[in-house]
Structure 1
């Protein structure tokens, strides 16, 4: 089924991403223009640029994803909630929060759950909430545990990676995460996704969203460099 995806149906899977710290206003305008032209699901940008993107994308149907507790996930729950609320007020429609990896690997599962739940509650009815697991730092057992925690804490998606090192999306990880959360929850593949062949395999494995900076090249059937 996935190998038949083309055009708008394929583009609708993408969060067109630009998270580089050196990104300028003109870069954000270009990203938004590309997202409108290709009808991507959202742009994915740092919180500072959310209000600017909201102006660029008003009335287009393209959403705005921003990142919270990024890229380490080790900030306090209070600050993550505040970031999420501020971003939503500025126009964000989707929130990608980084899991507290150190807490998870310490066996502090209730703390991780509370962290996710607090942000999920801040987003409830206002924005889609995704949790970035940073799978390159986790064992398979930890990936399954983290996915289950996110599901029970009220997240809408689990996501593979920040794209800032520690590996990226693999077909095996997407399949593992999909199995862990079941059919009703979203799974986002991000980190090192640069060509159409890989995207189709990730979708086949269970991904319902793709995070990439090479989105334009990918939906055109080629490949590109980037996040």
Structure 2
């Protein structure tokens, strides 16, 4: 159980994400500084910023996570693999891949598994997080994706809603954790920061919570 009253313990379960299209070099450097100050688990950035992030975080415990096929997951499998290989060469230590939701909604398990296994192989045993938009999927579809992640040996399923709405993310995490605890770790990437919800998610069993970097919030 995470001690959410301890800021350091809480921070080690946070992924800070800096992925806005308008971010500049200075913004990414500020994101790196904030991630180090927080002692976050990881800083998630698009491939173009991996080299800079790795150089700024090299002497810290913060991992550099490359965002692959963001934000919609509509790159081909070959392009996703190339993105992973390029980011790996530039120093990425984790990868977060947006899923191809058409394959999920059309229930194409063979195609999805083939792509996922290829990406796991490309990551060379570095953690691979499979990211889905849960508001686009039924609960049974999310469960099916989690099973496929385990089968393909991906380490993490990331639920990344664009809006929370009426969807009960804490209950979904509890349901998934009851089935997959010990075989798959869970992450929830929040569209907006909510301290109370972060605490509830960690209590429900997530290993990482994603929060967006806000330069104006510094």
- The two structures have a TM-score, normalised by structure 1, of 0.87
| Correspondences of 1:167-186 after superposition (within 5 Å) | 170-186=169-185
Structure 1 residues 84 and 55: CA distance shift in structure 2, 3 A: same
Query: RMSD over aligned Cα, in angstroms?
Result: 2.4
Distance 2:86 2:56 in 1: 19
CA deviation vs aligned residue, 1:77-96 (integer Å, no higher than 9, x gap): 11111101111111111100
* Offset at residue 193 of structure 1 (A): 4.7
Deviation at 1:206, TM superposition (A): 1.4
Pairwise CA distance, 1:197: 1.1
Residue 118 (structure 1) aligned with residue 118 (structure 2) = yes
CA separation of 1:114 and 1:166: change in aligned 2, threshold 3 A: farther
Q: Tell me, in whole angstroms, the C-alpha distance in 2 between the residues paired with 1:174 and 1:92.
A: 27
In 2: Cα distance, 1:77 partner to 1:169 partner: 31
What residue ranges of structure 2 are gaps of 5+ in the alignment?
A: none
The 1-side partners of 2:180 and 2:98 are apart by: 18
Aligned partners of 1:71 and 1:164 also within 8 Å? no
1:24 deviates by: 0.7
Residue matched to 2:21:
21
Once the two structures are TM-superposed, the CA of residue 62 in structure 1 deviates from its matched residue by 1.0
For the Cα contact (< 8 Å) 1:19–1:45, is it kept in 2? yes
What stretches of structure 1 of length at least 5 have no aligned partner? Answer: 217-224
TM-score by length of 2: 0.91
How many aligned residue pairs are there? 217
Deviation at 1:215, TM superposition (A): 9.0
Question: How far is the alpha carbon of 1:169 from its aligned partner?
Answer: 7.9
